[in-house]
Structure 1
Amino acid sequence: MHDIKAIRENAEQYDALWAKRGLEPQSKKIIDQDKLIRKAQQVVQEAEAARNKSSKLIGQAMAKGDKEEAERLKTEVAGAKNVIAAMGAQVDSEKAQLEMLLASLPNVPFDDVPEGENEDDNVEIAKWGQPRAFEFTPKAHDDLGADLKMMDFETAAKMSGSRFVVLSGALSRLDRALAALMLDMQSAEGFEETTPPFLVWDKALFGTGQLPKFEEDLYKTTGDHYLIPTAEVSLTNTVRESILDVESLPKRMTAHTPCFRSEAGSAGRDTKGMIRQHQFNKVELVSICHPNESESEHKNMLRCAEAVLQKLELPYRVVELCTGDLGFGARRTFDLEVWLPSQETYREISSISNCGDFQARRMQARYKHAEKDNRFVHTLNGSGLAVGRTLVAVLENYQNEDGTITVPEALVPYMGGLEVIS
């Protein structure tokens, strides 16, 4: 959500930043709508003043015995009440239109975010690790899983359709081991392990920016709930409609949850394997912080996510998303992309975003800045990491020519001492 006062005072700057995201100038229609509200509010205030003045004079006229004047004043009061009611309804209607307009507009990027139109214009800023040189042709993760008889897409399709999988045996345990390692590592970094709801109301999704724009990507129940597309929604909304003590910031949380996405906008993409599923597990990181700390907090969250890949010794790169590839609520985003030998390329495994006060305004989440001055917090979120995609990366990078999988050293204790999956 955007600050209407800031748009009034910095209209050209907002239009320039939205232009970087490929949008036409927006400030004029926002300000014009705001003027309609303020004009209607002025009429209401004038009518209220006239009503109050006439109401006082009625008593004076009655005391003097001037019934005719009293009746005239009563007519004025009734007329003022009608104006107040009519214009009050107009104010509510105009405000709702302005809110819809503001709610539909994405966040503005930081000034130094690289400009570009799409993912091809993202900027690589770092690499870690050297992709393994195989002495055989590496297989894709789904072929490895099928050969092990521990990854079954056909059985999942019988009960749920495409983009679902049944993991079993050692691969199911590996999935659990990865999540446990991630939670342990992020908890050690000061992120409080949390178990949030997996079902939320629409206002929670509005708060983090999934609604109203991305409803087609969500699963809605027959009641009033939605399945979470990411634990970012639940974790970030723990501070909605709150005023936090500044001493409590930053508030860092991590959670391992299932995530549910219809993938409406990805028809035909990654239909084979576990890269893009309707249901997947993720360890999420969320930080609620003071505005002065959000840039440094962003870098810290990136470091924490990178540490998992380094612990697993998986080659990866870090890219900063260009303005045309930023998510709806983000001001800056770093993506971690892990190396997949079967595709001979890096694929996204985590997105870590600084949303500034965009989500906080939608949720009314503030901190106590001074005795009578409450200000909006900044919110950040990211994967630490996507469990399924990490499983994919482990299978492909640790595969052996005979089809077995070497368990990464960091995971052996979580696997009960198992060193090779066969």
Structure 2
Amino acid sequence: MPGRKPIKVALLGCGTVGTEVVRLLTDQAADLTARVGAPVELAGIAVRKPNKHREVPAELLTTDVDALVESDVDVVVEVVGGIEPARTWLLKALKAGKSVVTANKALLAEHSGELFEAADAAGADLYFEAAVAGAIPLLRPLRESLAGDRITRVMGIVNGTTNFILSGMDSTGAGYAETLEEATRLGYAEADPTADVDGFDAASKAAILASLAFHSRVTAADVHREGIAGVSAADIAAAKGLGRTVKLLAICERVTDNGTDSISVRVHPAMIPRSHPLAGVNGAFNAVFVEADAAGEMMFYGKGAGGAPTASAVLGDLVAVARNKVVSGRGPRESAYAALPVRPMGHASTKYHISLDVADKPGVLSQVAAVFAEHDVSIAAVRQEGRVDDASLVIVTHAATDAALRSTVDKIGGLPVVREVVSVMRVEGEES
């Protein structure tokens, strides 16, 4: 807009996502100006090694992050990742009244409360759509569109690497190790895939989703976490035989006991019916299923990672905070008034699929069933296949608490007729 003071932006980080942010800011400059109501000007880009970023204008590059953050910029966009020094930089920016856009899920899952407090004290904005599910517009609907509703459950696939691996195992019948190797070769898994396959990435995202959905502060430490390394080809085949598939799920639930609300937040592999909307989400795609009292059931689906998709979410946030700067407005603040407690994992309730290697002789099933009854875990279905000297016994339960199921499995594992507890997997997405 002629004569309108530009909104100056500092970009921290210029890797895959940062490079795309620079490209979009350049290619769409005229459109962004029209949408914001003022020019959006990239004032500087903080990087560690300027000579490795020849794709961006050299005059914008700097290694002095503090000087860039402390300059006369209006918005700081952070795509560096990690807790420190990103936390220090963003707190400095917020305390100086600069709005912040970040894609840093790990930081938000640990320190969102501290960041929001700094933003509130200075009257600055804090936006973070890109922190969960890449390009999928998910956090803003939870934070704004559904602010007048009561969300009861958020369940989703929020890590593309693990979904690619599990989808590959399902379609080919291959094992975990060889499918992970293929995912690494194709670039879907990092050289060190620990954060993805062990569930750390999904746990951070689950903490952010639960915080927004239930108006409470939830950190990554509150999230029960299990990865996919223990999922075998036999588990995938068993799921197929029951009309199910296996997904790594982030599950955030509001639970009411005797009129008192609490939150259950967990990340783990689970079997879901092939008829469930999440079952058809394959490859590196993400999807999140949301249930609310008035709105009912909704699903958000799309590319959950990658430079361009994540940069799209970053630019959406940047437009929002820039508009607020132009009109001297504010975006949504933290909503943590409910302060609901997080339930221990032992209290979480779901169905289970248990596979046992047992002796093939009379009375085995009755001994195993007696242990289930002793721990008040109800059996929904049983399948037994005999061999020469041993047998496979598969049991599917009705909904039971995690604590009751663990006690049951521990005792069953000690029965003389049970050779091995082969696998225990939760079953989600079905009526209890």
Output the TM-score relative to the length of structure 2. Answer: 0.25
In terms of fraction of residues, the more strand-rich structure is 2
Higher relative contact order (CA 8 A, sep 6+): 1
Higher helix share: 1
